[in-house]
Amino acid sequence: MKLNIAERITLLGILPKEGDFTTLKILRGLQENIGLSEKDYKENNIRTIAIFDKGGQASGSSIRWGQWSEGEIKEAGKAKAKLMEKENVKLAKDIVKSVEINT
């Protein structure tokens, strides 16, 4: 059976952490077979992202993967900012028109 990245990560997370000698030996073999290799990390752009609470304290982490490079993420952020700016300008104009009509 061939597992994708999400299935492998999920399976690693639900495997028991304790057991007798035989169970631990089997678990170790499973972890080696389904664990993520350095090649997997590079080919799938796998990274661990810190999650912060409202106070700015690290509260956990999340594993992300995908084909986006850092440069692509920055460009997508810039494009989103431009789109938001355009929508904010349109919203401001609509508000001004609304005020003009009502006065």
Q: What 3-state DSSP class applies to 82?
A: helix
Q: Facing residues of 58 across strands? A: 52
- pLDDT, one tens digit per residue, over 16-35 is 888 888 888 888 888 888 89
Gap between the Cα atoms of 28 and 18, Å rounded: 11
Count of C-beta atoms within a 10 Å radius of residue 5: 15
Range 60-76 burial, b when 16+ CB lie within 10 A, else e: eeeeebeeeeeeeeeee
Band of the pLDDT at 75, cuts 50, 70, 90?
A: low
Its pTM stands at: 0.52
